[in-house]
Amino acid sequence: MKIELEVNGTAKTVEVSPWKRLLDALREDLHLTGTKEGCGEGECGACTVILDGEAVNSCLVAVGQCHGRSITTVEGLANGDVLHAVQRALVACGGAQCGICTPGIAVCAAHVVDRGLVAGRDDQSARAQVRELLAGNICRCTGYQLIVDAIIAAAREVAR
Ligand code: FES
Ligand code: FES
């Protein structure tokens, strides 16, 4: 079946089973391997993409459900050679180690930061909010502290 998608602002067509996981269609058919598979069961958030403005686990979405819809993957965050503020902050703060969780966290955090949902809050409530927003993203390496630091730094930069 031909499935039409808008991926990172560009129209794409994939010819696949509508039951194929969006995660696999992105990685195998569109060669967007930035989106990672961790658990494959909707638990870890490594596969997070934005589908029509909502963060979803692409391992739980059939590509047939995405026909005519808009998807943002981690490859769509940068503007040319300029990384998104969240990506730069993750690097600067040391918020990435093995990197498996990083694309999902970057996608999720960029979505939140771009909507101004963190900036302007006092430090304690901003941290609590970021932790809540990332509740679906598991990181086995960093202990989360540096990720939270990075997202708050990015939110403040974007708000300036
Ligand atoms: S791989 Fe999709 S939530 Fe873990
Ligand atoms: S950096 Fe390794 S799982 Fe998060």
Domains and CATH numbers, the chain: 2-76 (3.10.20.30), 85-159 (1.10.150.120)
| Ligand nearest to the backbone CA of 141 | 2
DSSP string, 82-145: B--HHHHHHHHHT--SS-SSHHHHHHHHHHHHHTTSSTTS-HHHHHHHHHHHTTT---SSS-SH
Question: What is the 107 CA–ligand 2 centroid distance (Å)?
Answer: 15
Radius of gyration, alpha carbons of the chain? 15
pLDDT digits (tens, 9 = 90+) for 65-93: 999 999 999 999 999 999 999 999 999 99
Question: To test ligand 1's pocket by mutation, which of 26, 35, 49, 59 has the most ligand atoms within 8 angstroms of CB?
Answer: 59
Segment holding 152, helix H or strand E: helix 145-159
pLDDT digits (tens, 9 = 90+) for 109-124: 999 999 988 876 678 8
Contacts of 91 (CB under 8 A, 6+ apart): 83
Is 101 a pocket residue for ligand 2 (Cβ < 6 Å)? yes
3-class DSSP state of 28: helix
pLDDT of the chain along its 160 residues, tens only? Answer: 999 999 999 999 999 999 999 999 999 999 999 999 999 999 999 999 999 999 999 999 999 999 999 999 999 999 999 999 999 999 999 999 999 999 999 999 999 999 988 876 678 899 999 999 999 999 999 999 999 999 999 999 998 8
Is 136 a pocket residue for ligand 1 (Cβ < 6 Å)? no
Question: What is the 141 CA–ligand 2 centroid distance (Å)?
Answer: 4
Give the predicted TM-score (pTM) of the model.
Answer: 0.95
Question: What is the 127 CA–ligand 1 centroid distance (Å)?
Answer: 24
- Does residue 87 contact residue 151 with C-beta atoms inside 8 Å? no
